[in-house]
Structure 1
């Protein structure tokens, strides 16, 4: 028993980490904890009439969630599943068009966007790098498209488990089909952060200071002419490259925020039961 017990905690940690990236897993985890809480209240001897009132409201809201999901499924799958088919075709068309739109954004960034004089070599390198990822993303989209065509009916009928489950699944689908934008944002965020840290370190060098990670403080260091010469060269290069990196970062951060804003109303609908019990 002692050998088995330590393996439980890492497994729970892995489930918690997975729930952070999937709205469906997070919802099932929250729903399981909620049902366990209702079970505890049902068999609890204390609480009086307030406990039964809480249980009645909880059961009513769960039934309402499933009922609303059933109405949504009957609407989407009605008329020989025409609405579900039209929505699927429309979503796939938007995904294919977004590929060309994103390639157009990269071509715009590789030129002179809004009259900005960016570094052509760095802009061309970043643009080529992201276009290669777009080509990989197209293969990823083709694989997801085939899966969508086979599982489209299941996706549309997920509302039978509740409207919150349907919306959580829609949130995960949006995240899956826009994962390239998230990756581009992460790439440029790391590059921009590295460049800012480099400029900050060079600024400390010219003032005769250096960050000490062991003691977590800024220490004074002796400076030499060679260090100042190399530092001035690196500072000049990084300052001239900063507008290009900043422009790419702002564009991809804007696209990332747009995707998150698109997910907000869907997430709110998927969590409406939690809001009712938390603020009700």
Structure 2
């Protein structure tokens, strides 16, 4: 009798198991439900970026750019920067990524040249240069193809559109005559005296592509490149001559970046990489005179991040 009753109860439980699994409350229901990959995954972390920078521009006598009168070249602007970054991925292919950071350019040199016929003879001076750097970027994109989904290739391709912000202020100290002329030859200004400040802000709208290559399940190479349309606001302040001279303009930009990362654990990632920003713009100042800028910053970085979600 007991054996027959046990058999009936077992049959009832087996027949009712789909309903029971749905009706059971915590903590038993999660154990009975199938495990599904999260709809979203997030990678977030920090970077140290060591970069070299240069910002040079020619200054013309009019808006047509026919007669160059001066050239200012801020070179050797090495910066130590810290930044935070993230990438948010949706299982359907949508992603959002970005970073924000800042640093202190140091050890640079301003070369200031003046040309005939406005300045006769030709003059070249140098000054010590240092300042601050702020930057941020945000992109929204879509994964166009992921070979891992079909098991064909460990590759993933995506496209994105976004916005990049960069603000750089460089102060020049002292004045030393190193070629022709007599701008600073009569009295050498010490490096404790600020002579020029260059304050620039660039706003860039960009379009680009990104590729991920998995060499192993834990080792990945990510590379991206983007073209941008950039708008610039600049203020050149000469403290001993004409004062502040604001200018506004626009131009073209490109940005590239590559990262080799290693997934140490299911949570922790580390990596090394490099990036290059380039901008080329033309601006008109308050006097209606043309300025042609060429700006670069490039360097290497190390990063660490955590990953939440994902398969």
**As a proportion of its length, which structure holds more helix?**
1
Q: Quick check: which has more Rg, 1 or 2?
A: 2
Larger relative contact order, structure 1 or 2 (CA cutoff 8 Å, min sep 6): 1
TM-score interval for Structure 1 and Structure 2 normalised by the shorter chain? under 0.3
| TM-score, normalised via structure 2 length | 0.18
